[in-house]
């Protein structure tokens, strides 16, 4: 592995898109704590193949994923594998927040475009239209589910400053990544997200 020189920063309430080659490792870092990062992955050579919450959770038989777990595509191929995780609680149930999220749930009259809008903007140059954006893997997001009632709540992330999760690419990928825009998901404040890429040797 050869690490990039820089740690990249995603500003609060914004997003980025970039590519990974098979064997590369992506580390998503919460530099200040209690900040969610929405992550998407597409097969770089066929953008119709995309990360799938439904396939991944079905095969894992649980909703909380951590070190060693694969993230599957809609075609049941492994796109990413979690190889390190210092938190152990992430969400793969809830869709990226959007202007509609803020309008419907929070009653905002002039809503922010949210992670959905940020992902759409960042991925557009790569040919990804908004309707192709699926449920994201929400790094550090804490979403308990009541086992009896099925009620979902959004609680403060368990991540603390410097916590991280590292993924290894199982194929060539296009990645979308955000610093989440929803107050409730981030315990009431908006903070940056950092990421690093270690290039594989292929």
pLDDT in tens, 163-191: 999 999 999 999 999 999 999 999 999 99
In DSSP terms, 197 is beta-bridged to 26
Distance CA 197, CA 199 (A): 6
What distance in Å separates the CA atoms of residue 167 and residue 79, rounded to the nearest whole number?
10
51 vs 55: CA distance, rounded Å: 9
Mean pLDDT computed over 23-34? 98
The pLDDT of residue 6: 86
CB atoms within 10 A of CB 70: 18
- Confidence check: pLDDT of 90 > 70: yes
Whole-number Å distance between alpha carbons of 88 and 66 = 5
- For residues 138-156, give the mean pLDDT: 97
Q: Percent of the chain beyond pLDDT 70?
A: 97
Pseudo-torsion of CA 5, 81, 91, 134, nearest 10°?
Answer: 90
pLDDT of 3 over the 90 cut:
no
- Judged by phi (left if over 0) then psi (alpha if -120 to 50, else beta), residue 87 lies in alpha
């Amino acid at each position: 592995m050869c690490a990039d020189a820089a740690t990249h920063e995603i500003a609060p309430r914004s997003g980025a898109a970039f590519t990974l080659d098979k064997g590369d490792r992506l580390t998503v870092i919460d530099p200040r704590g209690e900040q969610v990062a929405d992550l998407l992955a597409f097969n770089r050579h066929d953008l119709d193949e995309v990360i799938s919450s439904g396939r991944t959770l079905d095969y894992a038989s649980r909703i909380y994923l951590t070190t060693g777990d694969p993230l599957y595509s809609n075609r049941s191929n492994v796109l990413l594998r979690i190889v390190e995780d210092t938190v152990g609680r992430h969400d793969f149930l809830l869709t990226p927040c959007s202007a509609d999220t803020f309008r419907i749930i929070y009653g905002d009259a002039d809503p922010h475009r949210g992670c959905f809008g940020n992902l759409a903007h960042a991925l557009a140059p790569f040919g990804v239209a908004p309707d192709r954006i699926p449920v994201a893997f929400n790094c550090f997001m804490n979403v308990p589910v009541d086992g009896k009632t099925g009620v979902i709540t959004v609680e403060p992330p368990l991540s603390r400053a410097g916590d991280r999760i590292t993924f290894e690419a199982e194929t060539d990928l296009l990645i979308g990544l955000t610093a989440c825009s929803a107050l409730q998901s981030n315990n009431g404040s908006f903070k940056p997200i950092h990421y690093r890429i270690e290039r594989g040797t292929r």
